[in-house]
């Protein structure tokens, strides 16, 4: 496989250079095969050569730091309760539950900024609507630029993964991601946990198709693989990509929605910006006929005991069920819509 590891001390997570796709069809096929292997064996990989202007993530990182350095009352001015069923806004340290206990992180939840006239908003779909922005000039523009860029990367990766599975490049876009569910998170993990088992985020899997993570140099992300926890250190100008539950379901377990967690053991805060590229809210995802499992993967017991392969229904139903666990206070407003947008 054409996979490179730029440093000998990096864990064995593949680093995939997407710029090779610009070298011709043969290289694109090689990249698709690499991604297929990485998604099957690890469920996690780095991507470089993605073509995203470095100023776009750098600008958002700077705004995120500005926000988290604000006094708590100013951050609470955009509290999640203001976002209602759109699931947007700020929560303080301990405000989110993973693995059944509070996380040691604070965060600002954002997403695709949808106008009131959008059919999904008019139909009352939860997790769809307007963002709640802090009063920081330029913040909104930085979020929208980043969302646009990462949405493009999500479509690129999904097309390559489709090719790696022997499908048409537009397989996922025509069926599941023409109107994807897009969620953006800004997370700040306080310095040095109170005890060795104090998790910034407890072990979990992601819910949708692809997560694209921009992380700083502090480190702390760990991935479960063959019974061990592997560090996922910072790699300049990269995104860490992982497979979500719905990709595992679509591929009948060929692709691994790997367990991962965060422990910030450093003396400084950690900044993390995950972007979730997920199926349309009303998509019903069934295993793709003819896709076979490849290798033993990284399957491990999940903290929630769930099996995405056994789920039936829409992605929205799956997502709401998960969100209601991590934010129990939102359960009353996260109701499934009675109407379906045209």
Domain assignment of residue 6, yes or no: no
Domain assignment of residue 341, yes or no: no
Q: How far apart are CA 333 and CA 318, in angstroms?
A: 16
| Nearest alpha carbon to residue 160 among 275, 16, 64 | 16
CB proximity list for 19: less than 8 A, separation 6 or greater: 48, 49, 50, 51
**110-157, pLDDT tens digit by residue?**
999 999 999 999 988 888 999 999 999 999 999 999 999 999 999 999
Domain assignment of residue 296, yes or no: yes
Residue 101 has pLDDT above 80, yes or no: no
Domain assignment of residue 339, yes or no: no
Q: Which residues span the domain enclosing 183?
A: 15-333
At 225, give phi and psi (nearest 5°). Answer: -150, 120
Residue 339 has pLDDT above 60, yes or no: no
> How many structural domains does the chain have?
1
Domain assignment of residue 58, yes or no: yes
Bridge-based pairing state of the strands 221-225 and 260-262:
antiparallel
Domain assignment of residue 287, yes or no: yes
What is the sign of the dihedral through the CA atoms of 322, 327, 331 and 337? negative
- CATH code, domain carrying 135: 2.60.120.330
What is the sign of the dihedral through the CA atoms of 338, 96, 188 and 84? positive
Output the pTM of the full model: 0.90
**271-295, pLDDT tens digit by residue?**
999 999 999 999 999 999 989 776 5
Domain assignment of residue 264, yes or no: yes
Domain assignment of residue 5, yes or no: no
């Amino acid at each position: 496989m054409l996979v490179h590891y730029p440093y000998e001390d990096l864990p064995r997570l593949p680093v995939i250079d997407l710029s090779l796709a610009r070298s011709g069809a043969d290289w694109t096929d090689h990249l698709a095969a690499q991604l297929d292997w990485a998604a099957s064996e690890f469920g996690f990989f780095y991507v470089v050569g993605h073509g995203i202007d470095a100023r776009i993530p750098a600008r958002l990182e700077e705004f995120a730091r500005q926000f988290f350095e604000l006094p708590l009352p100013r951050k609470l001015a955009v509290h999640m309760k203001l976002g209602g069923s759109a699931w947007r806004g700020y929560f303080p340290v301990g405000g989110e539950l993973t693995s059944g206990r509070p996380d040691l992180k604070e965060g600002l939840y954002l997403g695709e900024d949808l106008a009131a006239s959008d059919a999904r908003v008019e139909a009352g779909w939860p997790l769809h609507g307007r963002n709640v922005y802090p009063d920081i000039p330029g913040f909104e523009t930085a979020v929208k630029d980043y969302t646009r860029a990462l949405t493009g990367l999500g479509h690129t990766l999904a097309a390559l993964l489709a090719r790696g599975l022997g499908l048409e490049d537009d397989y996922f876009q025509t069926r599941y991601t023409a109107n994807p569910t897009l969620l953006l998170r800004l997370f700040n993990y306080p310095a040095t946990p109170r005890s060795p088992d104090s998790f910034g985020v407890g072990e979990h899997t992601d819910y949708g198709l692809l997560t694209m993570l921009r992380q700083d140099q502090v480190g702390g992300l760990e991935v479960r693989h063959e019974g061990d926890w592997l560090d996922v250190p910072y790699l300049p100008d990269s995104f860490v990509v992982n497979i979500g539950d719905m990709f595992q379901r679509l591929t009948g377990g060929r692709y691994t929605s790997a367990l991962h967690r965060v422990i910030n053991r450093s003396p400084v805060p950690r900044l993390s910006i995950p972007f979730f590229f997920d199926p349309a809210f009303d998509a019903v995802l069934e295993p793709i006929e003819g896709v076979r499992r490849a290798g033993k993967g990284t399957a491990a017991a999940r903290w929630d005991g769930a099996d995405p392969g056994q789920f039936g229904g829409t992605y929205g139903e799956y997502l709401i069920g998960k969100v209601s666990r991590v934010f129990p206070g939102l359960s009353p407003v996260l109701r499934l819509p009675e109407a379906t947008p045209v």
